[in-house]
Amino acid sequence: MNMAIRAVTRSALDRGWTVYGIEEGYAGLIAPADQGKIRRLRARDVGGILGQGGTVLGSARCPEFEDPEVRARGRANLERLGVDALVVIGGNGTQTGAEVLSREGLDVVGVASTIDNDLLGSDVTLGVDTAINVALDCVDKLRVTASSHRRASLVEVMGRDCGYLGLMVGLACGAEAIVLPEADMSPAQVAARIEDAYQRGKKHAIVIVAEGSARRASELERVLLDEHCERIGFELRTTVLGHIQRGGSPTATDRLLGARFGARAVDCIARGETGVLVGLRGREIVTTPLAQVVGGIKPVDMSLVELARVLAV
C-alpha cells in the first residue's frame, strides 16, 4: 500500500494538485476535523516508505460507514478541504464503500489491494505477492524441523473465503495436500495423502489449510489424531501463520505494481474516469467499473489444484 500511496501523492503533486492523506481509512474520513485524521501530504511526507510493509496511513474497521448520515460527515470533511476526488486503496469491503460514495456523487477511484486476491477486476491485487512469499518462507522453515523429526505439518494460511493464497503457497512448496474453500478435502482424504507420503519414505509431509475451509487446521488435526492416527505414520504439528502474512517488506513485484496502480489512479482522475477500480489484467493496467467489482468473489483457477496434486507425488 505504501508504494501506491507514494505514487498517488507524487503523481498528483506533479500535476500541481494538493494532496491529503486520510488516516485509518473510512474511520478517519468521518472523524471530527479536530482529530486531525486528514493531513496534507507533500513529496517528502511519502519519502522512504516504499520498503515498509502495511500502510503509513493506517487502517481500521468502520461498520458505521454503512449509515448514510455517517457517510455525509465524511463527504463534508472533504468539501471543507476542497477535495475533489478520492483514491481508495483496499479490498472488497473497502471498495464496497468506494462504490457507494461514487453513487452518491463523489469522484472515486479504487486501487485493488488485498492479500486474499479475491477482488474482481484484477488478476493480482496489491500485497498478495508479498504475502505468498512470507508464507512460503515460513513453510520452508517448518519443513526443516518436520524433516528432522519425521513430522507432518498442518499449516493454516489466510485468505478469508478465497483459497488463492493457500493454493499458491501449497503449489509453490510442494504440499502433499491443499485444503481450500473451493476444493475441500475430508480428513480421510488428507490422511490418505499423508500416509502415502510416509509409505513412500518421505521424511515429512506438508498440508496447507486455507482459513476459509470447512475445517480450520486445529480441527483437522484433532480429527486426524482421533480417527486416523495409526495410519498416517508421522507425528502431527499445526502452525497457524495468522497475521505474520500481512507483514514483511514488500516484494519488488508489489512495489512495482503499487507504483503503476497509484499513477494510473491519478491519470483516471485527471481525465474524469471515476467510479472505477484500477487493477491488472495480464500485463496491462486496466480499469473496471466499481459496480461490477463489488458483491462478488473472484474464483481460483481449479486447474492448479490438479497440478498441485500431480506435482506432489
83-93: string of b/e by CB count within 10 Å (b at 16+)? Answer: bebbbbbbbbb
Q: How many CB atoms lie within 10 A of CB 76?
A: 11
Q: Where are the alpha helices (DSSP H) in the chain?
A: 2-14, 25-30, 68-81, 92-103, 128-149, 164-173, 187-199, 217-227, 229-232, 252-270, 290-293, 303-311
pLDDT of residue 293: 95
Lookup: cell for 69:
448520515
Per-residue pLDDT of 104-148, as tens digits, reads 999 999 999 999 999 999 999 999 999 999 999 999 999 898 888
What SS3 state is found at 34? helix
In angstroms, the CA 85 to CA 38 distance is 14
Tell me which residue has cell 474497521.
Answer: 61
In angstroms, the CA 101 to CA 103 distance is 5
In angstroms, the CA 223 to CA 237 distance is 13
CB 232 within 8 A of CB 194: yes
CATH architecture assignment, domain 129-247: 3-Layer(aba) Sandwich (3.40)
Q: In this structure, which amino acid lies at residue 264?
A: R
Residue of 116, 118, 129, 254 marked catalytic = 116
What CA–CA distances, in Å, run from 254 to 2, 114, 177, 199?
10, 11, 28, 40
* CA 159-161-164 angle, 5° bins: 50
pLDDT of residue 230: 83
Say which residue, 296 or 5, is predicted with more confidence: 5
CB 57 within 8 A of CB 5: yes
Per-residue pLDDT of 186-242, as tens digits, reads 999 999 999 999 998 888 899 999 999 999 989 999 998 888 888 888 889 999 998
Mean pLDDT for all residues in the chain = 93
CB 19 within 8 A of CB 12: yes
What CA–CA distances, in Å, run from 131 to 80, 153, 196, 244?
38, 19, 30, 9
Query: Taking 80 as the threshold, does the pLDDT of residue 278 lie above it?
Result: yes
In angstroms, the CA 113 to CA 127 distance is 6
Domain residue spans in the chain? 2-127+250-293, 129-247
Per-residue pLDDT of 33-45, as tens digits, reads 889 999 999 999 9
Closest CA to 264 of 282, 291, 284, 285: 285
282-289: average pLDDT: 96
Q: In this structure, which amino acid lies at residue 309?
A: R
Closest CA to 183 of 206, 210, 145, 220: 210
Query: Taking 80 as the threshold, does the pLDDT of residue 313 lie above it?
Result: no
pLDDT of residue 242: 87
Beta carbons within 8 Å of 120's beta carbon, 6+ residues apart: 288, 292, 293, 296, 297, 298
pLDDT of residue 64: 93
Let me know if domain 2-127+250-293 sits in CATH 3.40.50.150. Answer: no
pLDDT of residue 54: 87
pLDDT of residue 262: 98
CB 172 within 8 A of CB 132: yes
Query: Does residue 107 have an active-site annotation?
Result: no
Per-residue pLDDT of 65-113, as tens digits, reads 999 999 999 999 999 999 999 999 999 999 999 999 999 999 999 999 9
